[in-house]
Amino acid sequence: MIVVGTGGWSVPGWYPKGVEARDRLASLAERVDAVEVDSSFYALPSRRTVERWVKITPGGFSFAVKLHRALSRHAAPLKSLPTALRDDVEVTERGRVVLDDALQEGLLQATRDVFEPLHGAGRLRTFLLQLTPAFRPPDHALEELEPVIGGLAPVPVAVELRHKAWLGDAEATLAWFREAGAVWVAVDAPEVDAPVAMPAVDAVTRSDLAYLRAHGRNAEGYLHGRSAAERFDHRYTDEELADLTQRVENARGAGRGRRLHPRQRRARAGLGGAAARAHALTSWSERSSAAIRSSIGDGFSSASGTLTVLPFSLSRTIFLSRFS
């Protein structure tokens, strides 16, 4: 089954007039079947907040959760950590925390505790580790990530590498993903000669989960944008969406279902304004899903093949996962 969802739910322009901020997730869950939690990258929510997410969304609605920025080796201020972890943490001259083994284990434990309501309800499908581009060989090794992947088991961890140097020996990189049980994150990004613009590598490294994030094809914004809104400001055309569908068709592996999540932060087209475009894409989507289903192979023979298209412009990021 192919399901279209979003990354985050904070964009006001996605919702009918009058929907308050606290009601956006519930409103979104009426239209799509999954979401990628983005706010957890900046700071962990409270367990009470996560419990509310479970209560206000349907039982079939699932979550992917982005891991804290310190775990993904980004710069993180001390105040971004849970209060209980702030004592005795080493910080740099600029006030950024230094990730050592003790802090990493503390963050992993806090992450497990906070998101247990989702996991316990069978609604937590995967964590996402979106690494900093500075995490690259030979300065770093993929083995450094194994405590994160093992520490969050049995929930899978999808890892997004953000430097082309990891593809210098692509086979070795993908072999590590398979051996570690990590999910390879495929990306759609501008085709530019820059080390941080990853090429299309549609690998499946687990039998139960695959992940595709589309960052848009705005080369100028991607390379020179000062904010996320500028970097990922791109409206996918029907032709580009068809190209992404072909990438899904090319993804092989075992499993029983697929989920496709477009991610958009910038409200360039609201729910109402792009409804006609979404309707026009529906017939294309239904045809594409049939082609995807037939191309995947026997491992997906019992899966249904439906593709839900969001009623607003597809932009920013697409997340694809396959769950058993």
DSSP letter for each residue of 259-310: EEEEE--S-SS-TTTTHHHHHHHHHHHHHHHHHHHHHH-GGGTT----B---
Extract the residue ranges of the chain whose pLDDT is less than 50. 252-324
Residue 118 tokens read as 């989702």
Separation between Cα atoms, residue 274 and residue 31, nearest integer Å? 14
Residue 214 host element (H or E): strand 211-214
- Taking only the tens place, the pLDDT of each residue in 25-71 is 999 898 888 888 999 999 999 999 999 999 999 998 989 999 999 99
- Establish whether the linkage from the previous residue to 154 is cis, with ω within 30° of 0: yes
Task: From residue 309, give the alpha-carbon distance in Å to each of 182, 253, 262.
Answer: 28, 24, 9
Q: Is 10 left (phi over 0), alpha (psi -120 to 50) or beta?
A: alpha
Separation between Cα atoms, residue 67 and residue 269, nearest integer Å? 28
Separation between Cα atoms, residue 140 and residue 129, nearest integer Å? 15
For the chain, give every domain's residue range. 6-321
- The pLDDT, as a whole number, for residue 249 is 67
Place of tokens 């390879």: 184
Fold of 6-321: TIM Barrel (3.20.20)
Place of tokens 């994150």: 185
Residue 171 host element (H or E): helix 170-180
- The pLDDT, as a whole number, for residue 233 is 78
Give me the residues paired with residue 157 across strands. Answer: 127
- The pLDDT, as a whole number, for residue 4 is 60
- The pLDDT, as a whole number, for residue 5 is 62
Place of tokens 């607003």: 312
